[in-house]
Structure 1
Amino acid sequence: MINNEAFAKRLQIIIDFYGESASSFAEKIGVQRSTISHILSGRNKPSLDFVMKVLSYFPEVELYWLMNGKGNFPSEAKTVEKVEKIEMAPKSIQSKNSSSEKEIDRIIIFYKDGSFQNFENS
């Protein structure tokens, strides 16, 4: 059986690690703000759906750590995997990004829900 108080502490660690507020965290994983509040206060237990949403949006979170407090957070294997992907980027991309002489014209941010934001240098 899950210990609500311990789960709430681990959830707060995740929220703090990513620099989120409870409200922004709820929005990212697609739950009501009250759901986060009730879990953090110990009023409600997390549902399986809630746990799966956290794990799918934040892959560095390990299921066993989230549920039982055993293991590591952030997941060392998944963190190393991300660093390796960055290091494997073609040198042409890396060198283009490191040039201090170039001026940024436009930045586009794509979100998982298919929406995007476009920022243009004026």
Structure 2
Amino acid sequence: MVNSAQFTKRLEKILQYYSLTAAAFAEEIDFNRSTISHLLSGRNKPSLEFVMKLYEKFPEVDMDWLLFGKGNFPTPSQNDVKENVTKKSTVSEKKPIDLFSNETIRQQVKMEHRTENQKQIDKIVIFYKDGSFNVYQN
């Protein structure tokens, strides 16, 4: 069950992180301003449509964190991404990557080994805008 007070705090953290007002956030996710206001005041709980629109626009927001407070936001890697986006890009010389070098092959083998040790996917659920969904289970 979603705790409205805690959800409100997490939603405010998202707005603060992206430097958005409630009105700008509503515009970003194409949602009613009054609904956002009601969510921020704790009057209403989030609908599936709201959560899906938020995730569509901000896929880096962890839904477990948003809905249940499990995990963190932003993750350290997201801070790096945000800093890189906000900084002006600079042109730097980069050495071309040789896809057939021994080093590249070693790195690829290391990546494959890491993915083998990771958790296996059990179920994938895809939600569609019309409210329907598909479940794919291993």
Bucket of the pairwise TM-score, normalised by the shorter protein: 0.5 to 0.7
Taking only aligned residues, the RMSD between alpha carbons, in angstroms, comes to 2.5
Deviation at 1:80, TM superposition (A): 7.9
Residues of 2 paired with 1:82 and 1:18: CA distance?
A: 12
Residue 52 of structure 2: aligned partner: 52
Task: Calculate the TM-score normalised by the size of structure 2.
Answer: 0.56
Q: Which residue of 2 aligns with 1:61?
A: 61
Amino acid at match of 1:28: E
Does residue 24 in structure 1 map to residue 61 in structure 2?
no
Deviation >3 Å, runs of 4+ = 80-83
Structure 1 residue runs of 5 or longer lacking an equivalent are 87-92, 97-122
State the TM-score, normalizing by the size of structure 1.
0.63
1:63-117 deviation line (CA, Å, top 9, x unaligned): 000001111112445x38958xx9xxxxxx8249xxxxxxxxxxxxxxxxxxxxx
Q: For residues 31 and 53 of structure 1, what CA distance do their matches in structure 2 show?
A: 8
Offset of 1:60 from its aligned partner? Answer: 2.0
Structure 2: unaligned runs, 5 residues or longer: 94-138
The number of aligned residues is 88
Q: Measured at CA, do residues 12 and 80 of structure 1 come closer, stay the same or move farther in structure 2, by a change above 3 Å?
A: closer
Is contact 1:60-1:75 (8 Å) kept? no
The corresponding residue for 2:91 is 94
Matched-pair identity in %: 52
- Of structures 1 and 2, the larger Rg is shown by 2
Deviation at 1:58, TM superposition (A): 1.1
